[in-house]
Amino acid sequence: MRKILALALAFTMVLSMAACSTTKKDDPSAKSEGVMTYKEYVAAELDSEVVIEAYVQAKQSWWEDKATVYAQDGDGAYFLYNMACSETDYGKLTQGTKIKVTGYKSEWAGEVEIIDASFEIMDGSYVAPATDVTALLGKEELVDHQNQFAAFKGLTVEASKDADGNEVAFLYNWDGSGQDGDDLYFQASLNGETYTFTVESYLCDKTTDVYAAVKALEIGEKIDMEGFLYWYEGVNPHITSVTKAK
Amino acid sequence: MRKISLCLVFAMLFSFLFSGCHGSRGLEAFAIPEDFDESRDYEITFWAKNDTNKTQTRIYEKAIADFQALYPNITVNLRLYTDYGKIYNDVITNISTNTTPNVCITYPDHIATYLTGANTVVPLDELFANEKYGLGGSSLRFDSPTQEEMIPSFLEECVIDGQHYAIPFMRSTEACYVNKTYVEKLGYELPEVLTWDFIWEVSEAALAKNVDGTYRLNGQNVMIPFIDKSTDNMMIQMLCQKEAGYSNDRGEILLFNDTTRELLNTIAQHAKSGAFSTFKISSYPANFLNAGQCVFAIDSTAGATWMGSHAPLSDISRDKFIEFETEVKMVPQFDPEQPQMISQGPSVCIFNREDPQEVLASWLFAQYLLTNELQIAYAQTEGYVPVTLKAQNSAAYQTYLSRIRDDNSTFYDVKIKASQLLLDHVENTFVTPVFNGSASLRDAAGQLIENVTKSVKRKETVDNSYIEKLFADVSSLYRLDQIGGRASISVDREELGELPAASVALLSILAIAWILILFYVLFEAIRKKRM
């Protein structure tokens, strides 16, 4: 009898554990009541209040109780600019953390973002895979992926001109006016078209692997990249990793 | 036993007292050495700001190389910033760790905050006047301007609490960059001096649309007729022109007044129609101006190379540019007969060190930034003007000004017009009072405009009760309610504020100890008397 009871208990535990693991696996597109779907967010007018749920993908900066964060759900991405956030809460915003954000939809130089926002941390976790947007470079549809974690594959590093007119693989700041620690700008081409990529120093500072990798780039080198599809007067990807093309 | 206990109490109290003294001690005030000791090597740091402009970076680098050739025992390490606010934040952080730069590009408003630390920033008056190393000094290895050769008003801007704490490096003002072609297309003639009434009227007219929803003026889907880059300057200049309160020399906050209310209501009205927006809300005015999506773009004269159909610098692709005639005007005025515009631009301060020789080395480099070659070269990078008469009156600078339109880079017409605007109107410039908290007040002034503009875009009602709440919120956000009254620069009681709790506790313990001692002595005396 004891053996049967033990077996029954073990079986129940296994079943309950399986049930738990099922509920923990979030549907990143699912929304709580009163929260917009990504489609509804896209349709919302600029300067209107929006309430979204998303998962932190990367933190860009924190200063004076304001955080700037890339977040994403199963359908699209959000750039949360200068969101009210204590330093303690900023520490809790790790990759995958689910948050509910209330703020205003806004646009700055082409970048659609949520500003004047507040947030609360929710249960759940999701890390978005990089969407391969290589084929969309130079096309209008690319904007549909704005702020998403994206991959660019098989591009060739092109020369930029530094302050002295020399050909270099990257520049500190867009025109070469900066120095180590500033944003890195570099160009890479695909099918005869050249695009500009940035290592944003707040998102990835000079201690990061990507910063070192870009400084080590050579003109003509073939590379794969990942990063966030930021927008500034056109697409301006903020790169988080660079590797030799596979 | 009692005596031992008392001794212990005394020992503890004294140790507290001495440790407190030790912790509060700052640097000694700087005293100018008799001679600069050239037998030693010095390494100094220079935190500089450039306008994301590689020519400026190269000028700094060349200046350092030339200076080091003159003084081989001084090494200058350059750290570049593109944002005054970031320099300010980093300096504040570094003051607490005694790792400030030696020489730093800054604004007097910021220095006022730096000065809350004892002897943090070096007062410069004695250095100016020093016979050997002062302005135009006899022992300098370069041709430095004398104090009389500095533009007096620019030098005056560096006075805080009666002392010079900085030297001006470059000066600029704000200008209104106008798409003259559009103004005339709308049927208006551009006046010599822009008025606010004119700006608002033309901006509203520019919003007329075609039946397909595009704007009649540019045939595009985007048109923000008037964009201001710096809303703090916008509010400050409007209040100055109206002779209304902002702050005064006693450090009193006068921003929240009826004129400000009136101005905010007008701004809200034009933001609501879409005639007005700000850099923080929409983006750089230059990008809209050059794409034909803006008629009036207000920005610093130090941003002139980004303005116009043929701007040498741009963040937008060339295919987005449209062709138009760019005019550079004074910022709009309420009284065109008595124009008022802000004076701004980088100044240089020197941070104190334990070693006075190191401070003197810093001063030599700071002063080198005033030499003609550097002043003229840097002024040419943007719509800046040199801060010395020596440079302004030099043949090289006058030739530069006369060669307007000779090319589209060094002699870019919009840039030279912007510099000329300031040169012609130095007497019409003003600065705001500097005190500990004046940097926050400046931010607050801009925040008022940003908030009403955002609110009307969000279809919120901006009325008197909204503005009252806005005043309270902004005052609280920038802690202006804690500044009030004289916020003097020297380390006085008001700046130190309330005593910290630990100090109050220590003083209380001391008082209690003395009472106990007196009580003990009295008690012993009575006891002995009875015995």
pLDDT single digits (tens) B17-26: 444 433 345 7
Tokens of B68: 């080091």
Contact at CB, B458 and A48, closer than 8 angstroms? yes
pLDDT at B520 exceeding the cut of 60: yes
- pLDDT band, residue B437 (cuts 50/70/90): very high
Looking at the DSSP assignment, which residues form a beta bridge with residue A187? A158, A196
- Number of neighbouring beta carbons within 10 Å of residue B527: 9
**pLDDT of A100-134, one tens digit each?**
999 999 999 999 999 999 999 999 999 999 999 99
Predicted pLDDT of residue B403? 97
Could A163 and B283 be called an inter-chain contact, meaning their C-beta atoms sit closer than 8 Å?
no
Q: How far apart are CA B112 and CA B89, in angstroms?
A: 14
The DSSP secondary structure of B19-63, one letter per residue, reads HHHHHH--PPPP---SS--TTS-EEEEEEEE--S-HHHHHHHHHH
The verdict on domain B174-343+428-482 having CATH code 3.30.70.1050 is no
Distances B85 to B183, B235, B338 between C-alpha atoms, Å? 35, 19, 32
Region for A118 from its dihedrals, namely left if φ exceeds 0, alpha if ψ lies in -120 to 50, beta otherwise = beta
Summary mean pLDDT of chain A: 92
- Residue B150 to residue A147: CA distance in whole angstroms: 50
Choose between B18 and B306: higher pLDDT.
Answer: B306
**Residues paired with residue B326 on neighbouring β-strands, in sequence order:** B179
Q: Would you state the pLDDT for residue B531?
A: 56
Of residues B202 and A14, the one with the higher pLDDT is: B202
Percent of chain B with pLDDT over 90: 82
- Choose the closest CB to B283 out of A109, A173, A234: A109
Pull the structure tokens for residue B47.
Answer: 């935190």
The pLDDT value recorded for residue B501 is 54
In Å, what is the CA distance from B348 to each residue of A79, B68, B158? Answer: 37, 19, 9
Q: What is the pLDDT of residue B517?
A: 77
Q: Does position B530 have pLDDT exceeding 50, yes or no?
A: yes
Least confident of A26-30, B192-196, B265-269: A26-30
Minimum Cα–Cα distance from A106: chain B residue = B281
Q: Report yes or no: B82 at the A interface, CB cutoff 8 Å.
A: yes
Which pLDDT score, from 0 to 100, does residue B529 have?
A: 65
Whether residues B78 and A234 touch (CB distance < 8 A) is answered with no
E strands along A77-148, which residues? Answer: 77-84, 97-108, 111-125, 131-132
CA angle in degrees (0–180, nearest 5) for B4-B9-B12: 125
Spell out the domain ranges in chain B.
Answer: 2-24+498-530, 42-172+345-425, 174-343+428-482
What would the pLDDT profile of B107-163 be if each residue is shown by its tens digit? 999 999 999 888 999 999 999 999 999 999 999 999 999 999 999 999 999 999 999
Q: Which class in CATH covers the domain with range A38-125?
A: mainly beta
- With a cut of 70, say whether residue A234 has pLDDT above it: yes
Set of chain A residues whose Cβ sits within 8 Å of the Cβ of B457: 47
User: Mean pLDDT throughout B167-172?
Assistant: 98
DSSP letter assigned to residue B251:
-
- Cα(A176)–Cα(A174) distance, rounded to whole angstroms? 6
Helix-helix angle B464-477:B258-273, to 10 degrees:
110
Mean residue pLDDT of chain B comes to 90
Domain A131-244 has CATH 3.40.190.10: no
Give pLDDT, residue A235.
Answer: 96
- For A210, half-sphere exposure in the C-beta direction (CA atoms, 13 angstrom radius) is 23
CB atoms within 10 A of CB B491: 15
Query: Which of A109, A163, A233 has the CB atom closest to B58's CB atom?
Result: A163
Q: What is the DSSP letter of B147?
A: G
pTM passes above 0.90 = no
Model pLDDT, residue B492: 33
Average pLDDT over residues A150-160: 98
Three-class DSSP labels, B452-471: HHHHHHCCCCCCHHHHHHHH
Q: Please check the confidence at residue B14 and state whether its pLDDT lies above 60.
A: no
Mutate to test the interface with A, among B46, B57, B287, B473 (most CBs of A within 10 A): B57
d(CA B241, CA A127): 55
B454-498 pLDDT, tens per residue? 999 999 999 999 999 999 999 999 999 887 554 444 333 333 344
Same fold, B42-172+345-425 and B174-343+428-482: yes
Classify strands A66-72 and A193-199 as parallel, antiparallel or unpaired: unpaired
Structural Rg of chain A based on CA atoms: 21
Interface test with B, best of A45, A46, A47 (most B CBs within 10 A): A47
SS3 B164: strand
Q: How far is A229 from chain B (nearest CA, A)?
A: 18
pLDDT, position B496 = 39
> How far apart are alpha carbons B402 and B410 in whole angstroms?
12
Q: Does B324 touch chain A (CB under 8 A)?
A: no
When pLDDT is averaged across residues B193-222 and rounded to a whole number, the result is: 98
Dihedrals phi, psi of B123, to nearest 5 degrees: -70, 140
Q: Which class is domain B42-172+345-425?
A: alpha beta
Chain A CB contacts of B282 under 8 Å are 108-109
Among A45, A52, A59, A57, which Cα is nearest to A29's?
A52
Buried b (16+ CB within 10 A) or exposed e, A70-107: bbbbeebbbbbbbbebeeebbeebeeebbbbbbbbbbe
Three-state DSSP class for residue A243: strand
Query: Quick one: tokens of B78?
Result: 């350059």
Put simply, the chain A residues between 121 and 180 with a CB less than 8 A from any chain B CB are 163, 173-179
Q: Which of B64, B78, B382, B458 to mutate to test the interface with A (most CBs of A within 10 A)?
A: B458
More confident residue, B376 or B83: B376
**How high is the pLDDT of residue B8?**
44
B56 in contact with A at a CB cutoff of 8 Å? yes
Of A2-6, B325-329, B358-362, B380-384, give the lowest mean pLDDT range: A2-6
Residues of each domain in chain A carrying CATH 2.40.50.140:
38-125, 131-244
Contact A182, A198 (CB under 8 A): no
